[in-house]
Amino acid sequence: MKKTLRLTSIFFVLVMLFTSFSFANNNSLLLDGNNKNFKSESFNGRTYIQSSSLENLGIGLNTSIKNNIVTIKNKKVTLKFTLNTNNVEVNEVPMTLDVKTYMKDNEAYLPLRFILETLGYEIKWNDNTKSIDVNKNQEIKYPIEINNQGSIYTVNKAPEAIVSLAPSVTEILFAIGAEDMVKGRTQYCTYPTEAKSITVVGNMTDPSAETIVSMEPDLVIAGTHYKPEVLSQFKKAGINVVAKDSPDTLDEMYNYTLKLGAIVGKNYEARALVSAMKSKVETVEMFTKRIKNKPDVYYVVGTGQGGEYTAGKDTFIAEVIGIAGGNNIANDITGWSYTLEKLIDNNPDIIFGSADGYNTMDSNPNYSSLQAIQNKKYITVNKDIFSRPSPRLINQGLKILVKGLHGNLAKLLNF
């Protein structure tokens, strides 16, 4: 295993050497059916547009460079890129990209796709015309509908005060700059650190209806563990409610992030966040898809006397394991329930989960035959990062897995 990791690390260093060259060229795209010319460079699988070429796109952007900051803006959005870093602010909301911006020959080079997707455009390669097609997406506007397994929840106007009953929702709202709207949270909504200063209204299943009603919020947003009868109390009190089960895929997470952004009037910020997450996933996949001998991996949701629980093939965690370059041994099930017999038979190379999970497996003879336990290949992680479909899953969790599965490959990632 160690030999394989060393060879993998050497291979990817060579890949980086041969894919990191930039090539300046004149380029064009079809923007809403109109041909637009611009100057760009291709670097690490990304297209960087010269900042001075943004005006050629005809989408009303003004550009300035001062004190190592490149600012592009229109009447509704301002993007500030810090040169030679992967840091960007979208309407003063900080985010990170999968790539770094840079200066060359007195020109700033910026990630084209991120800019266009933040502005609300969809970018596709047209095989027929052999060109880039860029078309404006329809803006998500009020009334905004959320469909949760056939139940429709409608938001007709921007809320001023929100109570979040789902940690993932709290994290997303903070990530898109809507933290000032969040007036109540569950005891489990502990990230980011600033969230801890918000009033606690109880847990996800049985929050204090009296406390929430007294806060007079415009909107209560619930997640997977809500009870319909509890939500009914809020509706009777005239409080609007949105309930959405946890997504099964990353695409569902992205789409819900966009809906939440529209609900709180943060369309640009939500689109930027989703664009950045998608690009990070694509960057990791660019490396891991080249790996031939991928390790077998098992994620511990629960273990020991209570039974074996893990992430089956229809979960977002299974998807992340695959993106990180691992074979999820639980792809032979759907849902979360596993068995000790299956775990032993599939005998994973690497296990990851909470410290409690490791302590149980390491001290219980039922797991002593597992090679991951014998070889000390149990990766201890913060379970909140992997159990919550939020930006942390990509920004932190994906990189943790890449490092645990493929060592030095993680050093090649710019986020």
Q: What is the mean pLDDT of the chain?
A: 93
Instruction: Report, in angstroms and rounded to the nearest whole number, the Rg of the chain calculated over CA atoms.
Output: 23
pLDDT at 355 over 90: yes
Strand residue runs (E) in 105-239? 107-111, 121-126, 131-136, 144-148, 151-155, 162-165, 182-185, 199-200, 219-222
* pLDDT given at position 16: 42
**4-55 residue pLDDT tens:** 444 444 444 444 433 444 556 888 999 999 999 999 998 777 899 999 999 9
Mean pLDDT value of segment 127-133: 83
Q: Quote the distance between the C-alpha of residue 54 and its chain's center.
A: 27
Q: Please report the pLDDT score of residue 25 as a whole number.
A: 85
Contact partners, residue 325, CB within 8 Å, separation at least 6 = 284, 287, 288, 291, 294, 295, 402, 405, 406, 409
| 141 CA to centre of own chain | 23
Average pLDDT over residues 374-389: 97
Q: What percent of the chain shows pLDDT beyond 90?
A: 88
Structural domain spans, the chain: 20-137, 144-265, 293-412
pTM value is: 0.93
pLDDT in tens, 318-349: 999 999 999 999 999 999 999 999 999 999 99
Q: Is the pLDDT of residue 385 over 50?
A: yes
Residue with tokens 């020109």: 107
Q: What is the mean pLDDT of residues 155-163?
A: 97
For domain 144-265, give the CATH number.
Answer: 3.40.50.1980
Using the structure block, give the residue that is written with the tokens 């689109």.
271
Asked whether the domain spanning 144-265 has the same topology as the one spanning 20-137, the reply is: no
Q: Residue 110 has what pLDDT? A: 97
pLDDT in tens, 221-272: 999 888 899 999 999 999 999 999 999 999 999 999 999 999 999 999 999 9
330 and 317 in contact (C-beta within 8 Å)? no
Contact status, residue 392 vs residue 382, Cβ threshold 8 Å: no
- Selected residue with higher pLDDT from 362 and 13: 362
CATH numeric code, 293-412: 3.40.50.1980
20-137: CATH superfamily: Copper amine oxidase-like, N-terminal domain (3.30.457.10)
The mean-pLDDT minimum among 13-17, 291-295, 338-342, 352-356 falls in 13-17
- Provide the pLDDT for residue 10: 45
Looking at residue 394, what DSSP letter applies?
Answer: I
Q: pLDDT value at position 23? A: 55
Pairing state between β 121-126 and 107-111: unpaired
Show contacts of 183-189: CB within 8 Å, 24+ apart: 183/215, 183/217, 184/211, 184/212, 184/215, 184/217, 189/164
